[in-house]
Structure 1
Amino acid sequence: MSALQPILFVDRDGTLIKEPQDHQVDRLDKLRLVEDVIPALLKLRDAGWQFVIVTNQDGLGTDAFPQEDFDVPQHAMLDVFESQGIHFRDVLVDVSTAADPAPTRKPGTGLVMPYVRDRRIDWTRSAMVGDRDTDIAFADNLGIRGFKLATAEFGEGTDWLSIAHELVDAPRTARVERNTAETRIVVSVDLDGPSEPAVSTGLGFFDHMLAQLGKHGGFGLTLACKGDLHVDEHHVVEDCALALGQALAQALGDKRGVARYGFLLPMDEALASVALDLSGRPCFTFRGGFSRERVGDLPTELVTHFFRSLCESGGITLNLKIEGDNDHHKVEACFKGVARALRIAISRDGCDLPSTKGVL
């Protein structure tokens, strides 16, 4: 059986071409492409998407908007895209007005009913791009993702390159807010967008260790926590671990394509041995110990509690062994070692689910 076909439905004015102040592209001198539309569509084309234009053209064919006034710039626009290797599978035009709308007028879906009945279309990946709320409502009516472009007239939105990145690269991201009577935490991760970690918990050494997870784990990490440090450090460390584990689990999704396993990191005289599995089954085993009560402002007893909590909310199996003389080195080796194991485990390794069970 052939693979299902994703479709990108696109508005015309304000989306493919810039919309003039009079809202009618009825002359060649009004024809201007929207920024980055060609490289974005090429990226989508190369990833297997096909393109369908769905546009409302109020009163087209009337004396106020003659058909030939539309056709000349329209054909020129299509020629430009064709010259760049971009072909539109279909051009669907509704000519009704807002005062007298037809079922085919967006956000109505009348124009695309043949596509709705086409079982060869991949609706889970298909999407709509437009510059107005009616385009997003159209996407909602089809049950597909909708992207609204930012324009000077209609305000905030996204851009073409971001849309192509979102659809083609499918970045694995998550944002988790955890609010309790003891802590307030916001954590964001981007497994495919490594960046400098931004961490603030009120515990300097703990911030440093969390930053190691993001830096050496190769993923984007921001985490901000306000907690009851006037009581002690326990709630902050535990709840940060729970929120981070939840974010990792959400970003990983069904874990299709991940390497799944991660395997040893020296830190001067200290040695951390790490075996990690994104199994979906929380399990934490620790061998070793610390001689100091604290390293910086972090109680060493909370190191193992952090990793146990991370495993519980993230569905991670983790075996961690630490040996050495310097507790600072040993704690840091634990965090860096787990980070490097995570880096391997979350990396994309094809598209198959790495489990004979069919689920992780």
Structure 2
Amino acid sequence: MPLFLGVPLKQISVLEAKCGLQLVFICVWVSTDHDEIEKVAKQFGAKVHRRSSEVSKDSSTSLDAIKEFLSYHDEVDIVGNIQATSPCLHPTDLIQVAKMIQEDGFDSVFSVVRRHQFRWSEIKKGVSEVTRPQNLDPAKRPRRQDWDGELYENGSFYFAKKHLIDKGYLQGGKMAYYEMRAEHRVDIDVDIDWPIAEQRVLRYGYFGKETLKEVKLLVCAVDGCLTNGHIDVSEDQKEIPCDIRDAIGLLQKRGVQVRLISERDCSKSVAAMKLGCMVEVSVTDKLKVVEDWRKEMKLCWKQVAYLGNEESDVECLKKAGMSGVPADACAAAQKAAGYICKSNGGCASIREFAEHIFLLMEKVNSAGKKT
């Protein structure tokens, strides 16, 4: 499964829903017939409906899958159908739409975007016709910035009450649209949409500039992050971590203090590498150690980044403003992390995580300067 900003694409929609819908609805479900998607959905806190082969065909529609789901869940009154290919969707939008259904009495609400594009009729090959304007008068052609534009359904989400879906509709009854902001409307339909969507999420996403602060401290677990499970020994027979490269130096040059933490006593091996950073070994409570470091440096948790790998790292990963794990981290650590590296532990994962931090901070700072 390809990763979107270091996490499975399905996780983005699950997190959007958990951040938004769970504030006003009961639970988040993923409908799938795919084992890996089921695994990711459960890992990140969603319930899973295993759809049947009858509604998993190439010709099957979202409505088919929703109707099947409802046939097993009579307790559901309202369905919010979120497309996994719309990662720019913001949880605050979902909260507003849910209120439109629950408080304003709408039976269905769907997403639209505003476009300022002039349409012309299509001429088929072999037909002797001329193209004609569809939404403008060429003799009185307006400037597009002076024109209100048109609303287009973009398929990002559909909310509807059960009684409508039972009749075969996702839109109907007392119906309303929800206009999405331009920065949130990118959907992934073709390959070129993927990097565009990533950049939009970096700049405007729900984990973007509203919550990020400048990272001042990166804590890295030695075990499973700087090492890969094998023992490498130096010429003087001292164990050395496998993955150091210049990542720590890169972080330090950018004003980020790096500290290492380990459940084992690896102080001699770390010292042998002359990394120039503090290391705490034989640690039984990593959260307490990092908490003490944070207070010592007078930082808030949003200024702390943490790279971990094991269950013992989970609480630190949850607390940190930016959290990451190698690709081969345990399931509990992956669930707690905000970024899953493409690299395994001991294979440049700390370098990849550092570059992700700098990329995200640059996007946030750039956005702040323009606003």
What TM-score, normalized by structure 2, do the two folds share?
Answer: 0.32
- Larger helix percent: 2
What TM-score, normalized by structure 1, do the two folds share?
Answer: 0.33
